[in-house]
Amino acid sequence: PAQPVHAATSTASSVADSVIKTGKQFLGVRYQFGAPTGRTDEFDCSSFTQYIFKQNGINLPRSSRQQSKVGTPVSKDQLQPGDLVFSDTNRDGVINHVSIYMGNGQLLHTYRVGIGVTTSNFAGSAWDRTFVSARRVIPNNGQASAASLPN
């Protein structure tokens, strides 16, 4: 019985690795709030996550608020690579930022003109202090569920 579980975990892990690898290809690409879907010369936080997950067969909605409603809820202490991390950096009760947990306490995301796509430490950061929720959109078998991930 342990073998199928290991195989499922390694599949999800390889999808997460692929998502992160895809995202890292865009390190340094400029940030632009409201960047159009599908563009790769500029991103905002949610167009970035939407694009790189789509490149790996997982469809996400466009906005960080919409993305925060798909997949499976995950507690901060159970984060795995590939999980989406949602923050309320304006502290107004509304999710306004999404990043990708890379493992080892690191986030992959884009924010602020002049910074663009980058990696950041999570613990103690603005995204940690304003953390709202996290979601796992890479199922254990590595396959996106059409029911949980609307186009």
List, by residue number, the catalytic residues.
Answer: 45, 97, 109
Q: 60 CB contacts (<8 Å, ≥6 apart)?
A: 46, 49, 50, 53, 54, 66, 67, 70, 137, 149
d(CA 30, CA 25): 13
Which amino acid belongs to residue 97? Answer: H
d(CA 150, CA 33): 23
- Name the pairing type of β-strands 97-103 and 106-111: antiparallel
DSSP 133: E
